[in-house]
Structure 1
């Protein structure tokens, strides 16, 4: 244990004065018998290149007393600004979550799970399922994205965010069956295509692509294709949407031969579809 800090309790916040700056850290007077060395990596929650970015000579500020075990199992105590800022940052993001506020975070990297961002100096992740994928995920790096905080777990250092909830706070409630939506193909499977329509990733099943026969969805679409489709089924509670391009075909097979024609006449064909559904519903009511 660092004898200079033996009289201080871990977790206690103390005042200290910067009495020396060195390339790798700073000397801090917190009232202990001798000055305490604060390494540069404990100076800020953000990455810094020099102590002068975080501290000034003769500056007085708060420091957190921190303890941990070294590789030999000995209890060590030290002071930290980073840990204090991190503690306060977790409090702030918990408050943001409680108030359901929208904040802006810049993407700085990507992973298989989604886009990595920083909020209040903390690392967070916008999962792929919570992204409004209007463009490839790599292009979101460097962008300021509006997000809402979904999960805050300080113990596991976990901060999950949602881009979609910030853009579409009412979820899919504004969508309806028979509506034409624009989207981007995210993934192709033998059973269909997953299409991002902004608020949600919807499923365009293979059987709903065209009236004419074709091999697989891979022969009709490519990932990142921009398409138009019509909503034919929704489950608002579970957040599920099914699409159809087949219902928008002016002539059977147009999706295979001339998809642009399908997209240009999409609203017209959707109006006919809705009219047919009303007629079917009216007949069903009369028959009962």
Structure 2
């Protein structure tokens, strides 16, 4: 049963709620949030706050009602997961545990299971702990408290967008003497120092810093080796803009990339014409879409022990 109430006091154990009933009501810390917290104020529960709560029991000692916000949040989280699954959305989840079948990641406050067969990285479970990884929903079953996720599907979705000449937004992860590693939707790409600007860059740190968000153009994508080469140099309206005015580079990125793709298309058309002119009997054709197919791999029909899947709710 849901009731509305107003918080009138908080302490280390929880919050006291006025629900205009004959008996008082108490919200324990463990029932204040879907996330693990040590004090109710971490969940925004302070005196004067009015909200909806669920009655989950009664204190035998003083007949006071015991309330929960956590259960309402769980219902909303499941609804949100079903919506995200229907929209086929890629989201980030933090890896918090593992067993012999896969890893456990927190998404929307729920514990989701990622089978090892659905992890594209070669990293071990220990290396993935506390890391945020891109995920897609495979199964959302509230009745069975089962939430199954796929890292492979999420990465395939990201990689499918990495056509040569496409512009993507990324975040600088780390700097090396030879370039910067950029996270582009869960995929790591290298922005080589020679591809930052037409002007010479002697110290990358003078242009980029870890945490910077920027637009980059995809130069090449080796799916087998998992290597993506990036460029901001190709996006410069005039040589050196990436050093002097990076904001302008990002504003003009799509326009400059379109010009680059047009030049590539013209070069391919000329090469194709020359090929057919000198070898008309060859019957050679050129793939015109230039896109990369998904990594397509669903969960195996066999081999996944459902007993290894932890409950989504804790």
TM-score, normalization: structure 2?
0.47
Out of 46, 50, 59, the residue aligned to residue 35 of structure 2 is 46
Cα offset, 1:170, TM superposition: 10
Instruction: List gaps (5 residues or longer) in structure 1.
Output: 1-9, 71-75, 173-178, 184-235, 241-288
The 2-side partners of 1:140 and 1:130 are apart by 14
1:58 maps to 2:48 = yes
Maintained 8 Å contact 2:114/2:150: yes
- CA RMSD, Structure 1 to Structure 2 (Å): 3.2
2:154 match: secondary structure: helix
Q: Counterpart of 2:269?
A: none
Cα offset, 1:34, TM superposition: 2.3
> Structure 1 residues 134, 22: CA separation in 2 closer, same or farther (over 3 Å shift)?
same
The 2-side partners of 1:125 and 1:93 are apart by 13
Number of matched pairs: 165
> Structure 1 residues 136, 19: CA separation in 2 closer, same or farther (over 3 Å shift)?
same
Q: Counterpart of 1:37?
A: 26
> Structure 1 residues 77, 99: CA separation in 2 closer, same or farther (over 3 Å shift)?
farther
1:79-94 matches, within 5 Å, as 79-94=67-82
Structure having greater relative contact order (Cα 8 Å, sep ≥ 6): 2
Q: Counterpart of 2:123?
A: 135
Q: Counterpart of 2:137?
A: 149
1:167 match: secondary structure: helix
Deviations for 1:32-53, whole angstroms, at most 9, x for unmatched residues? 1122011111000000011221
The 2-side partners of 1:77 and 1:33 are apart by 10
> Structure 1 residues 237, 103: CA separation in 2 closer, same or farther (over 3 Å shift)?
closer
Instruction: List gaps (5 residues or longer) in structure 2.
Output: 161-221, 227-295, 301-314
Q: Counterpart of 1:17?
A: 6
Q: Counterpart of 1:27?
A: 16
Cα offset, 1:92, TM superposition: 0.2
The 1-side partners of 2:297 and 2:151 are apart by 19
Q: Counterpart of 2:102?
A: 114
Cα offset, 1:115, TM superposition: 1.4
> Structure 1 residues 169, 52: CA separation in 2 closer, same or farther (over 3 Å shift)?
closer
> Structure 1 residues 50, 167: CA separation in 2 closer, same or farther (over 3 Å shift)?
same
Maintained 8 Å contact 1:65/1:78: yes
1:31 match: secondary structure: coil
